[in-house]
Structure 1
Amino acid sequence: MMVLDGLFIIELISKTLSVAPSDPDDPIFNMVWIFPFLGRDLLRLENQIPFFVLQTLFENTRVTRSCGADRSLAKLILGFFNYMMERPDGVLERFGNLEGKHLLDFFRLSFIPPPPPQQKPRIGEDELLELIPSAKKLGAAGIEFKPKKGDTVLAIRFHNGVLEIPHISIDDFVTAFLLNSVAFEQCYSHCPKHMTTYATFMGCLINNPSDAEFLCEQKIVENYFGTADDLTHFFNNLGKEVSFDIGNNYLSNVFVDVNEYSRNGWHVRWAELKDTYFNSPWSFISALAASILLLLTMIQAFFAVYPFAGGKPFGS
């Protein structure tokens, strides 16, 4: 069964990338709409075939491919999944020799920057690591959200009050990939829990539909999955009853720094001031006019009181 399924996977990938001849009357490979469904099925945890089986079948069927004989199986796999989750061309070159336990593990590893970040959390002796508030609450606390360009959605960064999060398009394929990646990391204890950490992080930010809409407005999330309620429901359930070590993950320092910044009273007051007086041109003009009027009133009062405070009248 593994040989039969493995040969189908090799044929599917090869024909999709036009490195193997295809039959114009093929009842499967000529239906374009079927590829996203097959892509999701290939990443289901229960459908995985050992990667060395795929590699062996790939090497033994190399002569059947009309072109691209010099391309590795890793590059072909990444090129195939690129139809469903587009990524920069440099990813194919960088992970061209990557190997995993199976397709799901291989595709998951291609999102983890080599080498995986290993940082000790910056935390005091009496301080406890905590999850971060939702996106709307962080915005009200003065934290700015900024979309970030990069090869992986995992490259999250917080610096000087700016939370940089790579843009991600959420659709059926991406949700299936995240769900199965988290499930794999929960089942296999000897792998880095990057996807679990990312799912927990996004689950914290998207606590309700207004948070989902806020991240969409900030160009961080592009929602093709459904409504804001659907997106919220997905991330809330993705991290439910999942084992997560907040003190030992690649975003531990981000959790610490974001919480420390959002609890600073000055940042909160400044954010409230900007939201009240500088969130639109009319409110800014009104605040500026009030400030000028107050300044002129103070100057008028000064000139009125000055002669009676021991000073000489002006012009004498």
Structure 2
Amino acid sequence: MAMSYNKPLMHKVAPLFRNEERSNKIYDPLVVSLGPYHHGKLELQLAQRYKSTAVQLFVSRSGQTIEFFQNKILEVIDDVRSCYFEGSTDNFSDSELAEMMLQDSCFLLNYIELCKGSDDIRKTRIYTSMINHLDRLTLNLTLRDLFLLENQIPYSILTLLMYLRYGTSKGEAMLSKFISGTIFGDERERMKFSLDRQPPVHLLDAYRQVLVAECLDINNQQTNSYISSRFEPFRRKLFGNKQKDENNEEGHNAYLFRSLTDLKTKGVRFKLSNSYSLRDIKFASYCFYAELQLPYWCVSIYTKVFFSNMIAYENCLEAHTSSVVTAYVSFMKALIQNSNDVKLLRERKIIVNQFGSDEEALQVFDDLNSFALGELDNWVFEEVKKKIHQHCNSKSRTWMEELIHTYFRSPWTTIAFIAAVFLLCLAFIQAYFTVNPSSEK
């Protein structure tokens, strides 16, 4: 198991994000610490005291001892130490760090098995053990703490223990169900997740890989075009844009974005995307209407924490990831301006709102801060924005929908219009026969 790293993979939240007035502990664990960054905090001691029990529960019926699993981690402890920022693990000896990794991993894997495991008897034992040691609120908030950037352990350690305890196929199937269930709300494998192609560095990275499965691989032959497009918006701001779009005299940065309600008045219809990748946003314009396809998302109490930590992760210097999720959040914030926009998405089943009202879901998107970092990755949705701009500025494609939206918003206005046309026709016929009475014969 080779894990030689030049830079830390267990990232920290940049001060810019923590100092933002809306952060309010969205980067800090509430119930459980994973890894050294928040280890030892007094408010996390309830879960910390349970971890030794979690290890025993994990090891039971495995045919191995606790020392066996801990020694396997000790074999790669130098690589584990290099995953964290310098100084973060200095207070831990190799055996203490290995013990921490084992306890935190067992806690996490027991929780995953509780959520998506297949052995009902073992799930019952795990639930009984956790509920006897942890209160229900702690157990419910555990999922929230798994989304935190600074609350991660190396994914390689998780896969090592999964392989030793469950075997490769069962461990990967269990993890796939857990990731799908926590993101999409069910156990169906919405998207294939392969560890062979690009192993995640931690659980949060695994979530990201699933969400942006169609994202550009910056290691392939398109790297140069990716890098140039990443900084193109800044070049244009500094030096201007020589090649102006034929329908946009201001160039790229003048694409005016509209809310969903505004787009609807321009003949835009909304539809659920065919895939569940956050990158799968498409726009097609037809004669008298257009269609915007958006990916599925479940808006819940975890949404703000999840996206905030994902944005912080994508913008870590050490992460070397594109900001696809950040760009998605910026795109959706531009679309969702009021509760009617949330209602439109909910009615089209593009989002599932687990809150009591559309106003609460709107508040979640309002509270998300992408720090305008999505502008760094305009290439992700640049073509979509361009097509939306062209459609909304094409009078021939929008006048009919504007007419319908303005004058036919209810059945009564439609009936009134038909009646008015009917009366106008009668008046025209009467006037015609008054002028030409001989036509009656």
Match of 1:288 in 2: 418
Give, in whole Å, the separation in 2 of the partners of 1:58 and 1:123. Answer: 54
AA at the equivalent of 2:213: P
1:124 aligns with 2:254: no
Identity %: 27
Secondary structure at 2:190's aligned position in 1?
A: helix
Q: How does 1:1-316 map to 2 (within 5 A)?
A: 1-16=100-115, 17-19=117-119, 21=122, 23=125, 26-28=128-130, 36-59=140-163, 61-62=164-165, 65=166, 69-71=167-169, 73-84=171-182, 85-86=184-185, 89-91=188-190, 94-97=192-195, 99-114=199-214, 116=216, 124=245, 126=249, 127-129=251-253, 130=255, 132-160=257-285, 161-188=290-317, 190-225=320-355, 227-245=357-375, 248-306=378-436, 313-314=438-439
Q: After superposition, what is the alpha-carbon deviation per residue over 1:85-142, rounded to whole angstroms, capped at 9, x for unaligned?
A: 32573436x2143621110011111112335498989972752233521111212222
Amino acid in the other structure paired with 1:298: F
Give the counterpart letter for 2:342 in structure 1: A
What root-mean-square deviation, in Å, do the aligned CA atoms of Structure 1 and Structure 2 show? 3.3
CA contact (8 A) 1:134 1:211 kept: yes
TM-score (norm 2): 0.60
Aligned residues: 304
CA distance in 2, matches of 1:113, 1:25: 33
- The answer to whether the Cα contact below 8 Å between 2:180 and 2:189 also exists between their aligned partners in 1 is no
Q: Residue 237 of structure 2 corresponds to which residue in structure 1? A: none
What is the alpha-carbon distance in structure 1 between the residues aligned to residue 293 and residue 127 of structure 2?
Answer: 48
Say if 1:8 and 1:286 are closer, same or farther in 2 by CA, change over 3 A: same
Q: TM-score, normalised by structure 1?
A: 0.81
Q: Secondary structure at the match of 1:110?
A: helix
Whether the 8 Å contact between 2:280 and 2:295 is mirrored in structure 1 is yes
CA shift, 1:186, in A, is: 1.7
Q: Which amino acid in the other structure matches residue 374 of structure 2?
A: F
Counterparts of 1:238 and 1:315, CA distance in 2: 72
Checking the alignment, whether the CA contact within 8 Å between 2:327 and 2:377 is kept in structure 1 is no
Q: Between 35-44 and 224-233, report the one with greater CA deviation.
A: 224-233
Matched with 2:10 is none
Distance 2:348 2:262 in 1: 14
SS of 1:210 mapped into structure 2: helix
| Change in 2 beyond 3 A, CA 1:295/1:315 | closer
- In structure 1, runs of 5+ residues without a counterpart are 308-312
Q: Distance in 1 between matches of 2:187 and 2:126?
A: 31
CA gap of 1:115–1:44, structure 2 versus 1, over 3 A, is: closer
Residues 36 and 173, structure 1, Cα contact 8 Å, conserved in 2 = no
Q: Is the 8 A contact 1:193 1:249 kept in 2?
A: no
Aligned in 2, Cα 1:90/1:258: closer, same or farther, shift over 3 Å? same
Change in CA separation of 1:72 and 1:95 when aligned onto 2, cut-off 3 Å: farther
Question: For structure 1, which segment, 129-138 or 243-252, has the greater mean C-alpha deviation from structure 2 after superposition?
Answer: 243-252
Q: Distance in 2 between matches of 1:12 and 1:18?
A: 13
Q: Which SS does the other structure have where 1:192 is aligned?
A: coil
Deviation at 1:270, TM superposition (A): 2.3
Taking the aligned partners of 2:203 and 2:355, their CA distance within structure 1 comes to 23
- Using the TM superposition, name which of 190-199 and 78-87 deviates more: 78-87
